Every structure is written in structure tokens, then in C-alpha cells.
Amino acid sequence: MIAAIPMHSQARDNGQLSEITITAAKEDATQSTSQSMRVKKVGQEEVAQQQATSVPQLVNNLANVTAVGGPRENAQEVNIRGLDHNRVLQLVDGVRQNFVSGHRPTYFLDPALIKDIELQKGPSSAIWGSGAIGGVISQNTIHARDLLDTGDTFGGFVRQGYQSNNDLWLTTAALAGRYENMDLLVSSYYRDGNEVELGDGNNLENSADRDKGVLAKLDWFIDDSQSSTFTYRRGYSEGGVPVDGSTNANTSNFLVDRETQVDQASIDYYLNPDNSLIDTKLTLYWTRTQIDDPHITDARVDTTEMNTYGINLNNESHFKNLAVLYGFDGYQDKFEGARSGENRPIIPDATTDVWGAFTTVHIPLAERWKAEIGARYDYFATEAKNLNTSRSDNALSPSAALIWEATPKLNVSVRYDQAFRAPTAEELYQSGTHFCIIPGMPGGCNTFIANPNLKPEESENIEFLADYTFDKVFTDSDSLKVSANVFHNDVDNFIDQEVENPVFTPFPFSIDAGNTTYNNVDKAEIQGFELEASYAFGTLNSTVSYGQSRGQNEKTGEALATIPADKWVWQLNKAWLQNSLKTGVTLTRVESQKHLAIGETNEYDHYTLVDLYASWTPQSAKDVTVDLTVNNLTDQYYRVANQQLYMPGKDIRLGIKYAF
């Protein structure tokens, strides 16, 4: 997780070394970012109130962050400042989620298991390595301690939810126990829904699905300086969908009866003795993702599988006025698959090995000035056994920041970051048939051509950030915090799939359907800014944010097709009746997208969404919580910019939770 954790006894507030921000994939881990990096958190209370059905939905209200992929939850992804898909690194309990294959899903964790989400905007390879060009989204699951009060040895909850839009029923249950120095958690969920109803009253065909999963976690507090966590989770989903769930089914986007299973196991070991040089975390992990796509119209069965094995070791040390984070990590991806039938793609039987070492140093320069310097070196190699070919490469990802604490209320910083994304095995070694125009005729099928010479995608980002806090704005007890940041991100060597146009010869008739190859094609420039103001008075809280991104291909000057529309979000919430009742409203105004890529003919109009929620815990029955959420209150029929499908209409979500 990404959290603020106080440092050791050397930490001081006299301009030398003060509290810094720690990036940790789990509690008490030690991967450092900084107070100069823009990180946003969606806490456990907000997770419960949103009653979201996918992780991208949970972060959709953040400035310059957009849930893309359409209304099908299993097709949704997170777009950060115009970058998405495998350009945003995804973590679950600190474990990399590397599965990417064509148009198949990439987000598999059900919100029923989530404690909180932390989203880091901007390039972050200096800590995380490959994939963090657009940012990092870290999903953290619940622990037994989240369900047990001090002195409790047993507890848990049962929750039943219902969503009106697609008649979805969601049942979640968890049991937590504590015995001496061990905490144990077992949690599971089951979700079954029908087709999604759009704002015009029509159903989106092939959008029903069924999901279930389990999470088991053991926290072992060995002694005052050592602890360990053992985690295992499994998720399973099934449903008939188009191969590309972000669009409607057609002759090329055929229907499949998709079955997805994800397994993840990890062991974390923490060592934090009374020693300023040692604050260590070691993680060993394994993930397995398998997707089976039996074709509904014929007997073909497509299978895709990836296994990832990884290790991460890092430590934080304090030397007088310096805080130094350093460590290494490595992982291996084993990717394989099969496409049955004739004229099909050939999935590479490939293995990718990545090793990286990193360090970040926090340096006090003067009474109100601080600096942060970091770098990471990565070596990666990929081998395709079925093609008997391989390639390797390396990357250096530096970062630097200068922080000026002008006053106790004003913080200003500027930072520079580089990042990269190594090409995937599929991008390097895809072969076989892409599609056929005239099957069986010479030249009638378009063929994949492997490109083992792909360069890594690279980004270079400069960002300016400022935060100011006003006290006693209207009363003696209120406050207002204003934040702003401006960024400029240059991204080079974009990897894109290029499809040649077919060539027809009339006399004598012949056809050349061409080839398909992944190439480094674009150099992009993305710039923008974010503004946010948060006001608090007692139990009243209000936040207004605005995000704007612009992006263009530097070679052609045309707009990038992944840039989201400008977005305003206003959130207001208040607690009543001695905090037993909490109510809130969210207004989202998304402007029309006028900056379209050349050849784009769709129009993306502006729209305004109204979402309401209420959470009630009766004072006479404090073990019961009732959550009511109304999404898209006015039943808007709208489409997210650069997406093909329209989004769901009004949805009333009701959840009843009993804790014991």
C-alpha cells in the first residue's frame, strides 16, 4: 500500500529529516515514493459506499483518471492521464499483475475483497520497473485486524447486496480469528447478474456474468521486530461475451463462453528491530491466470495462461540526516496458449525474466528544502521456445525531486521521472494467422509476423506540484486545502499493432491479405494539469476537482485516441445523528471531447452524472449497516470519450451488512 509511516527515532521536524511517505505494496512495507509524488487513496469506507463491481469504477472519480472499456466490468481498465492497458502497472497486495493478452481482461480482483486502493499518477519505474509509464494502481485486500477490535478473538461479517440495473445479487462473508500471536482471515464472495441496461432502456447483449472467489490470510506476529503474512486468493468468473468485451459482437469479434480463473499466493516477511539501519521486507509470490474462450458458434476452444514467479527484497536505512531505500526484485513470466481450428494465431510459448535493483535517497538541504534522488536498473530477457528465438535488453530509470516547504501550510515541489515498459512476449513473438478474407486461397489470410527487435516504450515526465492549507476560513474550526499540479510527459517508442491493407488484382484474380506486425510507431507528448479543493467543517466535507489532459503524436501532430475528456467532480458528504447516518452526493461533469484523432468520426458529447449514497448504522443495532447507492440518478444515456459502447443507466444498489 502507499502510506505515510513515521520514521525511526532520528526523524525530526527541524528541517533535517521529517516524516516521509512510504510506498508499500502491503502494510509496513518499505518501498518509498515521496511527499512530492501525487498519490490518491480510496479508503475502506468509500469502497463500501460505492458498492462498485470493478476496480476501475472505484477510482473513476479521481482527476485525470477514467474507467475505460465500456459497461462490461470484465473489460474495464484504468486510464491515467491518457495512458492505460499495460502502461499502468497493477498491484494486488504488492504483487505484480502482469497478465496481458489481446483484448482479454486484465483486472480480476473483486471489490468485495478490497480494503483500499492507492493510485499513483505519473511515471514510476524508478521504484517499480517495467509498466509504470502512466502510473501505479495498488489494490490492498482486507486483513483479520480490519474485522477485530482490541481484545477480540473472533469476528466477521455477512453482507448481502442487490443492484437493480442488471438484477445482480452479491453475497460476501468473512470470518476472522485471533489466537495468541496469529490472526487468520477467510473471506469469500458470490456474484450473479443479468445483462446491463443502458440509459436508453435497452439491454447490452452478452453482458451477464457470474463470479465467485475466496481469500485466505494468516498474519503471524513472531515477536516485537518480526512478522509474516501468508496470503492466498482465487477468483473465478464465467459468462458469454465477445472476445473484445469493449465492443459489440460481430463476425470478427465473435462470441465466446469465457471462463477465467486467477490464483495468487504470497509470503511476506517483515523485520524492523530497534535499529535505524534495518527496516526490511521480503516478498515471495506466484500468480496464475488462465482464460478459456470456447467459441459459441463452433467447437473451437482458445486457452491463454500466464504464470508469474517473483521475489522482492528491500530495506530502508537512516544515516544521521539521510533516509535511504534500496533493494532488488525479480520475476519470471511463463506465457503460453493454444488456438484451435485452422488459420488461427500461434501463441508464443515464451518465458520472460526480469531483474532490477533500485535506490532512493531523501536528503535535507536546508531548513525548508529537501531533495530526493533515485534510480533503478532493470535487465530483461524473453525467449520463445516455439520459434527458437530470444532477445534481451536493459533500462535505467532515474528520478529526482526538489521540495520547498515554504511555510507550514505551503508545500511546493518539482520532480523529474523516467519510466519504461518492456515489450510483452505476445508483442514480440506473435505468429500465425490474424484473420482471413478468403480462407484456403493463396494470400487470402492476413498473417502475424514476429518482431523480436521491438524497443521498450519510454517516458520522461516533468511535474510541478503545490499544496496550500487555509485554516479558519469561515469559522474557527473549518479548513480548506487547495492542491494543483502541472505535468508534461514525453512518451517514445509506442508499441502498436500495424495491419497492412489487402491488395486485390482483378485479372487474373489474386489477393494479398497482408501482414500484421507490432512496431514502435509513435512519439507522443502528453501534458495537462489537475486542481483540487477540499473543505472540512465538523462532519461536513466537500471536494471539487478538475482534470485536463492533452496529447498528440509528435510525428504527425494528430491527437492521441487515448486522451480522456476534461472532467469536473464535486463531492459533498455529511454525517448526522451522532455519526450513525452518512449521506453524500457526487456530481460529475464530463465535457465533450473535441480533440479527436484523425479519422475518428464518432462524436463524444458532454454529460452530467448525479450519484447519491447513504450509509446507516442504527444506534440500537450497531452491528448492522445499510448502504444505499444510486448511480446515474437521471438515467443519462452517455458514452465515455474514445469508447464504443454506451454506459449503464440508473442503478439502485442496496447492501445490508451484519458484523459479529
Please report the pLDDT score of residue 240 as a whole number: 94
Percent of the chain with pLDDT over 70: 95
Q: Average pLDDT of the chain? A: 92
pLDDT at 251: 76
Residues in contact with 397: Cβ distance below 8 Å, sequence separation at least 6, in sequence order: 123, 125, 126, 129, 375, 376, 377, 378, 417, 418, 419, 420
What are the residue ranges spanned by the domains of the chain? 2-659
Helix residue ranges per DSSP H, 30-81? 44-50, 55-58
Question: What pLDDT does 6 receive?
Answer: 31
Return the C-alpha cell found at 547.
Answer: 482534470
Q: Predicted confidence band at 14 (pLDDT cuts at 50, 70, 90)?
A: very low
**What is the predicted pLDDT for the residue at 521?**
84
Residue located via cell numbers 482458445: 302
Could you give the 3-state DSSP secondary structure of residue 644? coil
Q: Hey, what amino acid is at 79?
A: N
pLDDT at 556: 86
Would you place residue 252 in the very low, low, confident or very high pLDDT band (cuts 50, 70, 90)? Answer: confident
Q: Are 515 and 449 in contact (CB under 8 A)?
A: yes
Ramachandran class of 373: left when φ > 0, alpha when ψ lies in -120 to 50, beta otherwise: beta
Q: ω into residue 111 within 30 of 0, thus cis? A: no
pLDDT surpassing 50 at residue 64: yes
Mean pLDDT computed over 485-513: 92
Confidence of residue 22 (pLDDT cuts 50, 70, 90): very low
| Rounded average pLDDT over 410-439 | 94
In the prediction, which pLDDT does 35 show?
A: 64
- Closest by Cα among 229, 231, 228 to 214: 231
Look at domain 2-659 and name its CATH class: mainly beta
604 neighbors 593 (Cβ within 8 angstroms): yes
Q: Is the pLDDT of residue 44 over 60?
A: yes
The reported pLDDT for the residue numbered 622 is 93
Q: Collect all residues with Cβ–Cβ distance below 8 Å to 393 and sequence separation of at least 6.
A: 379, 380, 381, 422, 455, 456
Closest CA to 613 of 567, 659, 651: 651
pLDDT above 90 for 522: no
Q: Which helix (H) or strand (E) holds 125?
A: helix 125-128
| pLDDT number for residue 350 | 96
pLDDT value at position 598?
75
Q: What pLDDT band is residue 21 in, cutting at 50, 70 and 90? A: very low
Give the whole-angstrom CA distance, residue 336 versus residue 426. Answer: 9
314-372 pLDDT tens trace: 999 999 889 999 999 999 999 999 999 888 999 999 999 999 999 999 999 999 999 99
Is residue 13 scored above 70 in pLDDT? no
Check residue 29 and give its pLDDT: 34
pLDDT tens for 130-170 read 999 999 999 999 999 999 998 999 999 999 999 999 999 99
Angle at 43 between CA 114 and CA 9, to 5 degrees: 110
With b for 16 or more beta-carbon neighbours within 10 A and e for fewer, the 318-337 pattern comes to beeeebbbbbebbbebebbb
